[in-house]
Structure 1
C-alpha cells in the first residue's frame, strides 16, 4: 500500500463509495454496550437483548480502543494502528484522541469464525456515549463490491483505515446516513457524534492496489421480483411436497432487507405513538407531534391547523376552501438556529391557493408527495409569502404533505421536507407519513375536543361567578378565584354576597365536590338557591337546612360544603353557620391577631338528616373576615393544619388595600406546590355603621303618621347636611309609610334612615304581601305610589321578614 495515499493524498481519479453492511455499536463510559444495531446482530449473531449491557470487548475486538486509565486520561488514550495516518490531527484543542481501526477473526454465534473489519471513534461530551464502533464482514467483500474499478480478482490485502472527509467528494453519505441508524437520540446528540466522526476522519477500505474507498452503510433492498420468485418457488414446493429450494431454505429475516425496512417503520410509528398524546393540552400535543418526526423521518416539519382548532372551537364539517385560514402552530428543523424563524414564523395565519400541493392535500385528505421541489414549484410556493423569499429554504428538497385527519375531517396538515442530500421520500414514506398523520390527527382532535369542552365549562363557570361590588353597606369586599391544575380543572367553588334588609350583608363561600361541567352546573343551581333564600331573610342555619333539602332533590350524587354568614353593621355582629366547610379566619383590627372561628362543623350539603347550628360573633369596626375553599389550604401529602396556620398568618399580614391583602394570602399559599383544586377566596372588612349615621322612628297606624314621618325625615336630613335630597326623600318616605299604614295589621311600623355611600330608607311592617308595580289608568285612585318610587330612587326593593316585610329605597348622595 502506497504510504503517500495513506497520508491523505487522494488516489488518481475519483473513488466510488463502498457500500457494505455495517454494524453500529455505541459503548458507554463503563465500556458496556448501550446500542446494538441490527447489522451487529447479523454480523456477530448476538441479539440486541443479549448484547446491551455486556462489555464490548466480549463481543468485538476493540480492547485497544478503550482507555486503560480513566483518571489519567479523562477522554481516553486511543491506540493508532493498522491503517492510521500520522497526520490525522484533531483541531478540538487536543481533547479528541486518535480513532482506532483493526481486523480480526472471531467466533460468531451459530456460525464459523468470521473475518471482521472495525473502526472505533472516541466520543466526548456531556452524554453517556464513550465509543462509536463500526464493523463489517471482510470475508464477504469483493473488489467490485467496494466500487473499485479495475481491481483484479486477487486482493493481497484489505484493511480498515481513516481519511479526512475532504479527500472524497462522495464521503458525505456517511454523515447523512449515520444518524438514521443511531439509537433514538436528540438532534443535538446525533449532531455531536457526527461532528466528531467528521473531525477524526471517514472510515475507508485500503486495498493492496493502493486504492482507498470511503465506507458508507449499505441500505440496498433486494428487488421485490427476486424475493417474490423465491417465495413462489417455496410455495410451489410446499404444495407439491418437494423439498424447499436451497435459496428459500436458507433465506432468513436478516437477509430480507425490505422486511427489515417495514419492521423499522412500524417500530418508528409505535415509538412516535408513545411520544405523542401524553397530555390533553393542545399546545403541548402540537409540539410533541412536530418533534416526533425530526430528525428521524424528516429534516423539517411544519404543522398547520385550522383557525377553529387553534381557538378550541367547534366548526362545521365540509371540505376546506381557499378562504380557510391555516395557522402555523409549530416548526421543527435541523438547520442552523433561526434560519426559518424570520421567513416562516410560528403563529402566522394564511390561506392556500388552489394550485398548491397543500390545498390538494387538505381538500382530498390524502398525502401529496413531491420527490423534488423544482425551481418552478419553489417560485409558485414562495409567491404566497409577501416580501419573503422562501425559495432557498425549499428548492431542491423532497417534500411530503400529510393531512391531519380525525373522524373524516381535516384538522390541518404537516409539511415534511428532507435536505437535498438526503434520500427522497418514496411510496413507503408516503404510507408511513399517512399512518403517522392519522395517529397524530386523532391525538390532536382529542386535545381539541378537550380544549373546547374546557372552554365551554370555563365560560359557564365565569358566567355563574358573581361580580361582587367592592363596597356593601358597612363593609368592603375583595374576592379571588383560581382554576385548578388538574385535568377538568373547572370546579364547583363559588363565592357571593347578598344585600339584606337592615343594612345587612350575606357573605357566602361554597364548594361542590368534583370537577367538570356537572360540578359547575351544580354550583350554579346552589348559588341561585342561596340567592333566592337569602332574599327571604332566612337565618343561616335555616338557609343551610333548606339548601340541603334542595340538593337531595336535585340528585343524590352531589355533595357540597358551604359557609354562610350574615353581617349586621349596625349591631356589629356576625351570625354564621357551617355545612362541612373549613372555618373562616377573623383578623382583629385592634391588635392584628388572627384566629380560626370555632364553629359547629355540620355535614356537607346533600348528606341529609343532619342539623345545622348558627353562631353569633361580636366584631369591631375594621375587623376582617376571610372565607375560602379547601383548595387554597389543602395540599396532597400535607396535613391541612399546616395550610390553615399559613392562612391565619398571611391573613394577619398588614396590607395597603383589600386587594393587596388577598394577593398576600394567594402568594403565601399558592407557592407551596401540589395544589390541584380550584380556589375561591372572599375577604370582607367589617367597617360597621356609626350610631350617628342611623336614625329610627316608630310609627302608629293613624294615617296622619305619614305627615309626621315626612317632617322627621326632613329634619334629620338637614342635620346631616343632606338638604339637597330632602324633597325627594320626603316624597318617597310618604309613599312607603302611607302603604304601610294602609296594609299593616297590629304591630307598629318601623322607619329607618342610614347614611353611608348612599342614603338608605327602610320601612318595616307586619304585612306579608309584597308591593308590586301596577299599570294605573288615568282615573285609577291607587297604583301610582310604587311607580313614583321606582322612577325617583337609585335602587329599591322588597323582602320578606319573619314578622312581615321590608320595603326600601336608596338615593344617590351629592359628592362631599
Structure 2
C-alpha cells in the first residue's frame, strides 16, 4: 500500500501501544451476498436501519460490492467509483483478508469516503464475510493536529522530492499480527465488542479468525501502524507517535511531534465516550410506556458497552402497578428480579439468579446498602474474602463463581427521591474495573432510567385503575337464563386508557322472560364510562318494572336529558319470552341485531325501527315483535365490531351475518369465531361489546297454567294442583315448600282481587318458577307485622323460603312470583314422556 512516502531509505517501522479508536460499522454477509448482521454503527455510516438491511444484497447498501462475487451489481447501482485506485478488492472466494478505500456517490447523500476491512469466515455456511468499515472524513485536510483526537491527520509531510508541502498524510487500511503491538492481549480483548448481538460461541469463533488473519490497522505513510479498536470514540495515537513536523532537528532529521496535554486529551476522550453512551442509551430506552418492555430496554442498553452483566430488581408494588411505594425499603421489602442481560456463556446465571425470582435482600450486603441509602455502591474488585462474605448472606445459593474477582457497581432507580429498584452491574475480571467516572456514568444512567421507569409505572397504575373501573361497570352475566343460553365478549379500545362507554346486560324478568341490552355511549374515557354506569343502572331498574321496550327507551331518553346535554348514547333493548317464543325489540340509534335461524342456519339482519340516540329528545320509539323458534340465536353488538373507517357499514353487517352463521360447538366458540373474523383490523381504537343468546324456549310439557276462582276454598285446590304437577314432573323433594309458598300467594290474591278469577302458572327450568296473577295493580310488599296482627306474614314466609321472589305491576293488575331452587337431578328429568 504505497502511500506517497519519499523514495530512498525507509525509516524503521515503529510500534505503538495506543490504539486508534474509530467508530466501526460491522456487517456479516452470507454466501449469497445477503446481509445477516448489521450493527448500529452500520446504520449511522450507511443509513439503512437493521430491519431494512438484513436480508438485502450487501452491494446495494455499502461500497464493497467487489467482495460479493458480483462487482458489476454494485457499479450498476452507483454505490462506488470503479476507477478508484483503492476501490473494492474483497474477493468472495479468497482465503485472505482484504482492505481498501471506496467512495460512496449516492445522489441522496454527501459524497462519503469509506475505509473498509474484510475477512473471509470459516463455517457455518460457505462464502461468509465479516466487513468492518469507518468514515475517512476525520482524516481530511483541516483536522486539528493538536486537537483532542490526537490523530495528527492534517500535519505536514514531505513530497516525493523531499520538500515540505504541508500535505496531509496518506492513510490506508491494512492488517498486522496483533502480536506486533505491545499489550496484544488487551487489544485482542477489545474485539468481542465488535459483535454485541451475536452469541458467545459464534462471536468467539469469528474473533479467533480475525486474530489469525491479521489485526485491522491504519497505516500512516508506512511510517506508523496504529491498531484499530471498535470503540465509540475518536481515532487516537500515543504521544510521540505522530508524523513529522515542518521543522527539522539540528542534524537535519525531522522532529517528532508530541501530543499537547496528553492527560487532558485522554480525559476528554473518556468523557466524550461516556456522553455518547448515555446519549445513545437515552434514545433507546423509553420507546414504550409498557413497564416490562421499559425494564428490558434499560437493562439491555448497558451490555456489553458499559458492563458485562446487568440485572434489574424492582419493588413488588412497582411491578404490580400499584400506587407509589410508601417509605424507604428495609429487610422485609420484596424485590423482583425482572430482567437479566449478560454476555457470558448461555445459562451461566439462570439457576443462581433466575428472572422472576422474588427476594428480600439481607441487611449486611452491598445490595441492601444501595437500596436503603439510594446511592451508588462501587466495589472495584470483589476479593475472595468479600465474595465469600456476600455469598454467605444468601441461603441455598452460591454467588462466589459469579461475583468473585469481578468489578461491581450498584445503582438505584429512583423517582421523586423514592427507590423503585436498583441495577446490578458487573464487569469480567479481564476488563477494566469500574472507577469513579463509571460510578457517575452509572448514576446518570440510573437517573434517566428511573424517570422512564416511573412514567411507565404511573401509566401502568392508571391503566389498572381504568380497567378495574371498566370491569366493575360491566355485569357478570350468567351463562344460563330461563329458556336461553348467553355468551358475551368485551374488548376495550386502544384510546384513553382502554376505557369506554360500551356495555351489555341481561336482566331476569317475571314470567321467565329475559331482557337483553347492548348500549354504546358516544365518546371515550372516564366521562363516557361514568355515563355508561348511570344508564346501565337505569335500564336495570326500569326493566324489572316490566316496562315495554319502547317505553323504557323513552324514559331513558328523558333521564339522559336531565343528566346533561352531552349525554348521548345508542341502545338496543330486547325482551325474550321463552313461553310465547317471541322477542320484543326497541332500538335507539343502535346497530340492528342479527338473528341466526336454527332451521336452516341462515343469518339475517332484523329490520326493526331505528329511533334517534338516547339524549336527543322528542323522538318516538317503537317496539317490534319477532317470532323465534327453539335454537335460534340472537346476536347484539356495538359498532366497534362492524364499522371500518372508509367502508360502508353494510359490509360490516354482512361480515357479521356470515361469521355468526358459522357452525360452532358452543356459544363461547361462536363468539370467538365472530371476534376472530371481524376484529382483525389494524389500529382498532373503539370498544367492542358482543352479546349472543341462544333462544332455547321452554317446552309445553314444562309449563302448567291454572285458573282459580276468588274463593278461599281455592287455596286448598291450588295446593293439590301443585302437588300433582310436581309429582308428575318427578320433583317430590320440592312439593312441601312449593305447596306452602303457593298457598300464601293464592291466599293474598283471593283476598285482594277485584275480579272473579286468579291465575296460577308453574314453569320448570333449572328452577321452579311459580306466578300468581290478579287484577289488583297495587304491588305486593312486605309488612312489619306485629305480635297480634292477623295478617302480613305471608310474604315474609315467601321471602325466607324462596330463592328469589318479586312483584310486578301493569295497567291490568299485578303478578307475584317466586323461584324455588331444585336439585340438579330433579331439574333435568328425562324428556319425552
TM-score range, shorter chain: 0.7 to 0.9
Q: Deviations over 1:726-779 (max 9, x none)?
A: 443333222112212333445853322223333221122343433333443442
The match for 2:403 is 394
Contact 1:301 1:415 in 2 (8 A): yes
Matched residues in 1 for 2:114 and 2:648: separation?
65
Q: Residue 414 of structure 2: SS of its match in structure 1?
A: strand
Matched, 1:475 2:484: yes
Q: Could you tell me how far 1:118 is from its partner in structure 2?
A: 8.3
Which ranges of structure 1 fall in alignment gaps of 5 or more residues? 1-14, 38-47, 54-64, 77-89, 103-115, 147-155, 223-249
Matched residues in 1 for 2:67 and 2:435: separation?
49
Contact 1:254 1:260 in 2 (8 A): no
* Distance of aligned partners of 1:738 and 1:412 in 2 relative to their CA distance in 1, 3 Å threshold: same
The match for 2:595 is 586
The match for 2:557 is 548
Q: Residue 763 of structure 1: SS of its match in structure 2?
A: strand
The match for 1:418 is 427
Q: Deviations over 1:150-196 (max 9, x none)?
A: xxxxxx9999864444676822333444677x7x9746699588566
Matched, 1:780 2:789: yes
The match for 1:172 is 185
Q: Residue 19 of structure 1: SS of its match in structure 2?
A: coil
Matched residues in 1 for 2:222 and 2:467: separation?
78
Matched residues in 2 for 1:123 and 1:549: separation?
81
Residue from 329, 332, 344 that aligns with 2:338 = 329
Q: Deviations over 1:329-384 (max 9, x none)?
A: 01111222222222211011112222222212111111122222222222233234
Matched residues in 1 for 2:546 and 2:134: separation?
84
Which ranges of structure 2 fall in alignment gaps of 5 or more residues? 1-13, 49-62, 75-89, 102-112, 152-161, 163-168, 237-258
Matched residues in 2 for 1:49 and 1:159: separation?
22
The match for 2:96 is 97
Q: Deviations over 1:444-489 (max 9, x none)?
A: 1222222222223323333333232322222222223334455622
Matched residues in 2 for 1:70 and 1:280: separation?
43
* Distance of aligned partners of 1:50 and 1:16 in 2 relative to their CA distance in 1, 3 Å threshold: closer
Matched, 1:355 2:355: no
The match for 2:380 is 371
Q: Could you tell me how far 1:257 is from its partner in structure 2?
A: 5.5
Matched residues in 2 for 1:796 and 1:516: separation?
38
* Distance of aligned partners of 1:326 and 1:23 in 2 relative to their CA distance in 1, 3 Å threshold: closer
Matched residues in 1 for 2:40 and 2:333: separation?
48
Matched, 1:132 2:130: no
1:555-574 matches, within 5 Å, as 555-574=564-583
Q: Could you tell me how far 1:258 is from its partner in structure 2?
A: 4.0
The match for 2:239 is none
* Distance of aligned partners of 1:323 and 1:68 in 2 relative to their CA distance in 1, 3 Å threshold: closer
| Worse overlay, 797-806 or 93-102 | 93-102
* Distance of aligned partners of 1:168 and 1:391 in 2 relative to their CA distance in 1, 3 Å threshold: farther
Contact 1:117 1:137 in 2 (8 A): no
The match for 1:496 is 505
* Distance of aligned partners of 1:705 and 1:178 in 2 relative to their CA distance in 1, 3 Å threshold: same
Contact 1:161 1:204 in 2 (8 A): yes
Matched residues in 2 for 1:634 and 1:403: separation?
48
Matched residues in 2 for 1:583 and 1:208: separation?
83
| Worse overlay, 364-373 or 308-317 | 308-317
Matched residues in 2 for 1:305 and 1:522: separation?
37
* Distance of aligned partners of 1:722 and 1:400 in 2 relative to their CA distance in 1, 3 Å threshold: closer
Q: Could you tell me how far 1:402 is from its partner in structure 2?
A: 1.0
Q: Residue 18 of structure 1: SS of its match in structure 2?
A: coil
Contact 1:300 1:332 in 2 (8 A): yes
Matched, 1:198 2:201: no
Contact 2:174 2:216 in 1 (8 A): yes
The match for 1:71 is 69
Contact 2:803 2:818 in 1 (8 A): yes
Q: State the TM-score, normalized to the length of structure 1.
A: 0.76
Contact 1:123 1:132 in 2 (8 A): no
Q: Deviations over 1:180-215 (max 9, x none)?
A: 7x7x97466995885664342225699999999967
Matched residues in 2 for 1:205 and 1:651: separation?
70
Q: Residue 571 of structure 1: SS of its match in structure 2?
A: coil
Q: Deviations over 1:495-543 (max 9, x none)?
A: 2211112221111122334444444443332222211110111111221
Q: Could you tell me how far 1:683 is from its partner in structure 2?
A: 1.6
Q: Superposition RMSD on alpha carbons, in Å?
A: 4.6
Matched, 1:452 2:465: no
Matched residues in 2 for 1:528 and 1:760: separation?
25
Matched residues in 2 for 1:215 and 1:651: separation?
66
Q: Could you tell me how far 1:649 is from its partner in structure 2?
A: 1.6
Matched residues in 1 for 2:220 and 2:771: separation?
111
The match for 1:84 is none
Q: Residue 454 of structure 2: SS of its match in structure 1?
A: helix
1:625-664 matches, within 5 Å, as 625-636=634-645, 639-664=648-673
Matched residues in 1 for 2:462 and 2:309: separation?
32
* Distance of aligned partners of 1:160 and 1:612 in 2 relative to their CA distance in 1, 3 Å threshold: closer
* Distance of aligned partners of 1:618 and 1:52 in 2 relative to their CA distance in 1, 3 Å threshold: closer
Q: Residue 480 of structure 1: SS of its match in structure 2?
A: strand
